[in-house]
Amino acid sequence: MKPSTAVEICFQEKYFDFSGRSSRSEFWFFLMFNLLFASIINTVLLYVGSLFGTWGGLISSTLSFIVTILFLIPLLSVSSRRLHDVGKSGWFLFIGLIPLLGWFFLIRAYADEGETTINSYGRLPENDV
pLDDT in tens, 12-30: 889 999 999 999 999 999 9
Domain ranges of the chain: 3-111
- Strands (DSSP E) along the chain, which ranges? none
pLDDT (tens digit per residue) in 51-108: 888 788 888 888 889 989 999 999 999 999 999 999 999 999 999 999 999 999 999 9
Band (34; pLDDT cuts 50, 70, 90) = very high
Supply the pTM of this predicted model: 0.87
